[in-house]
Copies of this chain bind each other. A is one copy, B any other.
Amino acid sequence: MPHNHQQDLGRAELKFDAFKDLLHISKEDICRRFFLENRESIRIKKEDVAVRNLVKIFDAALAISNKKGFPTMSMRDLSAGTGLSMGALYNCFSSKDDLLDMIQEQGRTVVIKILTDCTSGVDDPRQKLRRTVQTHLYLSEVMQPWFYFSYMETKNLGKEEHKRAIESELATEKVFLDIIEEGISSGIFSPVDAGLTAAAIKATLQDWYLKRWKYERRKVTVEDYSHFLVDFIESYILTEKN
């Protein structure tokens, strides 16, 4: 029986370790759900086989692409990385471009769901903001390869998928925008430019998964960064403006 992780995440206390464990085991679940929803474009019929291969493929594709870039990754690279032959690979997707779309799709659905669910039951805008920042950071920590990939490979997408990627970017930004506007109109936040503020928040969140080497080298943990960011943002939106 499939377990609803999103709800747990919503209620969880947002310690990173708990968050991490919860999501990590569900990697196969994600692929399973993906398989069930995309049966038509996958030649393999046995669920277990398909899921096993998909997990390998997504993992390897992200790892290799994030080092060399998706266009530079050859199917032979992927074959070596997964341990699957070319033929086996092409049973899971119909073309390299198709694979690209699959990767995008697969992550996007997870992200927006978790990000909107995480504030269910929270009313205070300040709490909402904190929790959303934290959840975004934790999520991008767990799914770092996907976040990085998604950011860097947008330009390689086809027209249709490219549009979707942009919409997705704006959608997560809008989550912050809404919280900020709510906070302003209820008088809890100062009357800042909500659009620019949301953009700035997004930019700093992105830095966490894009420049991970930097933070790793400096031994900054997600929790460190999370606390810092909340302070940084709150200093601005809680300070009275003239």
A148 to chain B, nearest CB (A): 10
Q: B203 and A225: CB pair below 8 A? A: no
Q: A232 and B199: CB pair below 8 A? A: no
**Which one, A98-106, A108-116, A190-198, is touching chain B?**
A190-198
- The answer to whether A43 has its CB under 8 Å from any CB of chain B is no
User: Chain A interface: which size bin?
Assistant: 35 or more
**Which one, A66-74, A78-86, A89-97, is touching chain B?**
A66-74
Do A193 and B155 form a contact, CB below 8 Å, given A203-B206, A207-B199, A235-B235? no
User: With the chains together, A220 CA to B203 CA distance in Å?
Assistant: 16
Interface mask (A204-240 → B, CB under 8 Å = 1, otherwise 0): 1011000100110010100011001101100110010
User: With the chains together, A218 CA to B174 CA distance in Å?
Assistant: 14
A residues neighboring B (CB under 8 Å): 66-69, 71-72, 152, 155-156, 170, 193, 195-197, 199-200, 202-204, 206-207, 211, 214-215, 218, 220, 224-225, 228-229, 231-232, 235-236, 239
Given contacts A196-B228, A203-B207, 6 further A-B contacts (CB under 8 A): A69-B155, A72-B156, A152-B152, A195-B218, A197-B232, A202-B207
